[in-house]
Amino acid sequence: MAYLIPELIRKKRDGESLDDDEIRDFISGVTAGTVADYQIAAMLMAVYLQGLDHRELATWADAMLHSGDVLDLSSIDRVKVDKHSTGGVGDKLSLPLAPAVAACGLAVPMVSGRGLGHTGGTLDKHEAIPGFQVEIETERFVRIVDQVGASIIGQTARIAPADRVLYGMRDVTATVESIPLIASSIMSKKLAEGIDGLVLDVKLGSGAFMKTHERAVELATALKAIGEAAGKRVTAVISAMDEPIGTRVGNALEVEEAIAVLRGEGPADTRQLTTQLGAEMLLCGDACTSPEDGIARIAAVLDDGSALDIFRRMVEAQDGDPRVVDDPRAVLPRGRGRSSVKAPASGTVQSIAADEIGNAALLLGAGRRRKEDRVDPGVGIVIHKQRGDAVEAGEPLVDLIHNDHGVDEARERILAAYDVDLQPINTSTQAASRVLEVLR
């Protein structure tokens, strides 16, 4: 079926639905390189402005998924689940979640891209552990998932190649913030993992890509629809991303916090999110009877050391230095400089703008502006004062862990991020869960 590409663009431009065959033809042309760049761009803009209905979206994502390889994990007996987050500042949840969920009897095969962001992605965070290899053979990855219960591998060029083309085009054509394009991009890669169930953590707030509740629900719904059309069990969680998560932002620093959580310690908010998201992953994999049961199970494997043990075996299996588990500070890279940002006045921390904390981390070198940028694993931010904390003028709000550059600009961002005021803060709000809504 050779459709004329301009005719497909016209249909979408005029708000009509594309047939399944038309969508598959378009995506296979994108993959094969027979659709010109300018035609892809015109189609992306038409999709941006006219949308895709549920059936179109499911087909579009499925066509992208099948533009490349789909992992065959059928040799692994356990139920396979994963989690994907739309990205937040200080979001290191995948690190404790994978071993914790594996400790509860499920398998967690993580395939991760690098992407852009304030700090590195899950891949970069694992790579902050000396020796840790993410570019491993698929066979080895499958073996580690089978034997250890969890493993992480870098996304290869053979996974969803159509997404690679579209993703690269969206940034330069102002078609990034489109729900169907975001949803199909995420799901085409996640479904390539060959999983049975998936928990999607859709971040909402000033530090997230989705700024309004409506948009977050729209994205969650689209993601769920694609996954369910593909026969997967999918839960979408909408969680607050106004304040950074936990007290460490930056790659090695986040590994440190993740290990603390795996020891049954760590900041309360990070632990709470780990148990809640972990419970949803267990529910997806039929490994618990209720959210409360799931939370209890995750809490148990964090507290009894079994999650930490799986993490240690996973690090070892991927050539990382396993001593990181016992003494992270001695093993992880760390910026040479440490510089406090002090509170200019006394009061209570009313809010911390997550996006400004993220910008500060980016300025220090923790993230990527462009695909080709290198991440500095050792830099980042140690947060001393979280939302609701009392602070005296001159006390450190955060410490910047840095190397050669970005300190002055990062300091400005930190001061802009903190809102300290004399009025007291409602502690019930402070202690509230970040999980705002769960779409099971």
- Give the binding site for a copy of itself (CB under 8 A): 5-7, 9-10, 13, 36-42, 44-46, 48-50, 169, 171-175
Beta strand pairing call for 418-421 and 347-352: antiparallel
Residue in 185, 196, 297, 411 annotated catalytic: 185
> Which is nearest to 160 in space by CA: 28, 56, 54?
28
Q: How many CA atoms lie within 13 A of 269 on its CB side?
A: 23
* Nearest distance in Å: CB 1, a copy of itself: 18
CB 51 within 8 Å of CB 251: no
Nearer to a copy of itself, 143 or 215 (CB): 215
Q: Does residue 201 carry a catalytic annotation?
A: no
CA-CA distance, 98 to 106, in Å (whole number)?
9
CA-CA distance, 240 to 159, in Å (whole number)?
30
Give 3-state DSSP helix, strand, coil % of the chain, rounded to 5. Answer: 45, 15, 35
* Nearest distance in Å: CB 37, a copy of itself: 4
Residue in 84, 125, 232, 387 annotated catalytic: 84
Q: How many CA atoms lie within 13 A of 161 on its CB side?
A: 11
Nearer to a copy of itself, 12 or 368 (CB): 12
Q: Does residue 189 carry a catalytic annotation?
A: yes
* Nearest distance in Å: CB 12, a copy of itself: 8
* Nearest distance in Å: CB 370, a copy of itself: 13
Residue in 189, 233, 271, 385 annotated catalytic: 189
Other beta carbons within 10 Å of 14: 9
Nearer to a copy of itself, 173 or 221 (CB): 173
Nearer to a copy of itself, 48 or 418 (CB): 48
> Which is nearest to 260 in space by CA: 246, 250, 249?
246
Burial class (CB in 10 A: 0-12, 13-18, 19+), 19: middle
Nearer to a copy of itself, 9 or 315 (CB): 9
Q: How far is CA 346 from CA 44, 357, 382, 392, 429, in A?
A: 50, 20, 20, 4, 21
Nearer to a copy of itself, 172 or 431 (CB): 172
Q: Does residue 232 carry a catalytic annotation?
A: no
* Nearest distance in Å: CB 35, a copy of itself: 10
Q: Does residue 143 carry a catalytic annotation?
A: no
Residue in 163, 201, 242, 355 annotated catalytic: 163
* Nearest distance in Å: CB 68, a copy of itself: 22
Q: Does residue 66 carry a catalytic annotation?
A: no
What is the set of active-site residues?
Answer: 84, 163, 170, 185, 189
